[in-house]
Chain A
């Protein structure tokens, strides 16, 4: 199975800050990577697919980049409603594994 290593596991930032989360795959997954946002008690919500494509309706402050094994998720200007846990997930092959999550808090 492909292992997805996300960092950091938790992050505290101020409103307006630029926030970056990284995800590393244990082998080349091309660009077969999703980024999700999950708020407490809710289902995950897809934000980014194919590593860098913003899902329709998702604010442009969210972005993704990378290919191969190293990927980055960025919030350009943190908003209070962005408080959530963020997960990466590959879909190169089965099983489609997830990163362990990054819990984002407001400082």
Chain B
């Protein structure tokens, strides 16, 4: 079965520190994509970062990086230098075979950044 697991319902981090949000995935397919989305309290879904299963380098986008460990089937999100505006829900998602419209989401992690 294809599944995304986020085991941290809630996380706290001090402003300006780094934080890692955990994500493990389960699929028997070789080709897939992994995503992280941010959902602030206003409700919109904001794309943060993408990692393809065949990408050898970890993806980075500004303060966001994806720690991709294929053998462990993990795709953790690292946010460096946390800001108050980073307080939000974060969702890990997978697109098996990069099928285009079929994302499987985890349950999310609520991140709170303390001043």
Q: Do A and B come from one complex?
A: no
A residues sitting closer than 8 Å to B (CB atoms) are none
